[in-house]
Chains A and B, each alone.
Chain A
């Protein structure tokens, strides 16, 4: 009798287990999505190509490095619920791709909130620093580097290139824009109406024309900032970030 009862118990348990597994499978396939982010850089309404010569603000320029950090990312859904990805940092650069670790609920996003830069605690490097992180970590060592060597912390935005200054249409004077330091962290909020379903890729779009608005590449004062050495230019570029960034 005891043995029969035990057999019934086993069968019932197996049935419950099978139903549970079947239930979980149904939930993963239809109600969640894999989310990826990629990063576009636009100049003169076309995709940025490194080394190509562009007309920008009356000068011939070319670019060879374009990177920035996105942190604190939160996505607001239609029902005001928030998908919080603020524990992740994204290193934006042409060709970079970031895949969110966990599947997220399939939903509609109405707002993206994030900052350009690195939070103050992480940026101060007094405890954990970038040398402690693996190279796969967006905040680990990179080449071109996104860490300062003479200063603690990270370059929030790094854009390098060349400009033509002698009128031969060949850019050969270096230009470099390295923006960092805690006071220059820039909060961005972008309203949108973006569906996220199975295997969605969201593009952060960086408009170089907007970023370099009011920058005259012909003047020496506008050709270089490593933030502290040319704070006014760094502040101008940070203020341009709001109009330079969009989400697609």
Chain B
């Protein structure tokens, strides 16, 4: 009689979302068909840093999502293969596990298939997922890693899910602001405290969109950046003209690390962002009604920026992921 040993991942191997976030914040959902395990996370991290996932083996996920920049980049548009330039600034991947829709226009339904976006985009990694699977299947190291993590060799199902498993572990809730809301009233400087008051004031109305523990309500808004949008944003997905120029409100966690700003990286500093909201709203037909007219003096600008800087996580600041 021959016994064939099968990989059996029991519940005890699962890593819970609760174990990845501190108790003062909510947990994120982990799909039932892709529970987190150490093997998946390690595999995902390896894939994340592997340039062989691109057509010419020059670009990895980490090429655009840099660990010391909160998994964003300091370039407006990061070149992909052959130096190709896309249209959008790489977003931070920290806390991506909480996204209800993926990509700045919300075009992708779930994190577990998000990795296919940059992998197949001709301006990013530029490789067909089928070609990439063939490439990885020929790699005995990946054979073993995928078998350990998923019980099978790499395929179109487990490849993006391994990457998603790693990205789910990239949480960031250890900022001075987090310490403050946990009860350490000395965690924020006096300047940051004044900035916090401004941020949550009706006068500025920032928190109407940048709300909650992620400092985003994940709505899609037009923030008056342009009169004519070269990138239609949410309208590319909904085909609705009232969605032209709308992009997902980004989280402000670690915002001090993720310049430049806006969907296309066209504003290079927090000062420029605040100047935009004060003086340069385009008045586009779809501009959010939540944007209020306001003026800040120099001191208020510095206080607000001090508050925004207090949203930088300690681990993100150190690049310790």
User: Counting CB contacts under 8 A, is B117 at the interface?
Assistant: yes
Q: What string of 1s and 0s marks CB contacts (under 8 Å) between A207-235 and chain B?
A: 00000000000000000000111010000
**What separation, in Å, do the CA atoms of A183 and B117 have in the docked complex?**
22
Question: Does B239 lie within 8 Å of A141, measured CB to CB?
Answer: no
Whether, in the assembled complex, B301 has its beta carbon less than 8 Å from a beta carbon of chain A, the answer is no
B207 lies within 8 A of chain A by Cβ: no
> Would you call A152 and B108 a contact (CB within 8 A)?
yes
Which of B47-55, B128-136, B140-148, B312-320 touches A? B128-136
Q: Per-residue CB proximity of B42-73 to A under 8 Å, as 1/0?
A: 00000000000000000000000000000000
Contacting A126 at CB < 8 Å: which of B109, B128, B157, B236?
B109
* A151 partner residues in chain B, CB cutoff 8 A: 107-108, 236-237
Secondary structure of the A contact surface, majority rule: loop
Whole-angstrom distance from the CB of A215 to the nearest CB of chain B?
20
- Does B129 lie within 8 Å of A129, measured CB to CB? no
Query: Hey, which chain A residues are within 8 Å of B113, CB to CB?
Result: 125, 129, 131
Contacts of B287 in A (CB 8 A): none
| Cβ contact within 8 Å between B157 and A132 | yes
The residue on B at minimum CB distance from A235 is B239
From B105, B128, B157, B236, give the contact of A131 (CB < 8 A).
B157
B157 to chain A: which residues have CB within 8 Å? 131-132
If the complex has contacts A126-B110, A129-B113, A150-B107, are A228 and B129 also in contact, measured as CB distance less than 8 A? no
Closest Cβ neighbor of B134 among chain A residues? A143
* B236–A229 touching, CB < 8 Å: yes
- Give residues 99-122 of B contacting A (CB, 8 Å): 103, 105, 107-110, 112-113, 116-117, 119-121
Interface flag for A189 (CB, 8 Å): no
**Cβ contact within 8 Å between B109 and A229:** no
For A62, the chain B residues whose CB sits under 8 A away are none
A125 touches B109 (CB 8 A): yes
A22 within 8 A of partner (CB):
no
Q: Are A150 and B109 in contact, with the CB atoms below 8 A?
A: no
Residues of B within 8 A of A13 (CB): none
One of A140, A150, A152, A228 near B239 (C-beta < 8 A) = A228
Bound Cα distance A150, B105 (Å): 9
Q: Which residues of B contact A135 (CB under 8 A)?
A: 130, 156
Closest chain A residue, CB of each to CB of B161: A131
**B90 in contact (CB, < 8 A):** no
Contact A145 B236 (CB under 8 A): no
Chain A 90-134 near chain B by CB (<8 Å), digits 1 or 0: 000000000000000000000000000000000011100111100
Interface membership of B93, Cβ < 8 A: no
The 7 closest A-B pairs by CB, nearest first: A228-B236, A151-B107, A149-B120, A143-B130, A152-B109, A131-B157, A149-B116
User: Which of A's residues lie within 8 Å of B, judged by CB?
Assistant: 124-126, 129-132, 135, 140-145, 147-152, 181, 183-184, 227-229, 231
B residues with a Cβ closer than 8 A to A are 103, 105, 107-110, 112-113, 116-117, 119-121, 128-131, 156-157, 160-161, 232, 235-237, 239
28 contacts between A and B (CB under 8 A): A124-B109, A125-B109, A125-B110, A125-B113, A126-B109, A129-B109, A129-B110, A129-B112, A130-B156, A131-B112, A131-B116, A131-B157, A131-B160, A135-B130, A141-B129, A141-B130, A141-B156, A142-B130, A145-B128, A149-B117, A149-B120, A150-B103, A151-B108, A152-B107, A152-B109, A227-B236, A228-B235, A228-B237
Given A129-B113, A148-B107, A150-B103, 10 new contacts (CB under 8 A): A126-B110, A130-B156, A135-B130, A141-B130, A143-B128, A149-B119, A151-B107, A152-B107, A228-B237, A229-B232
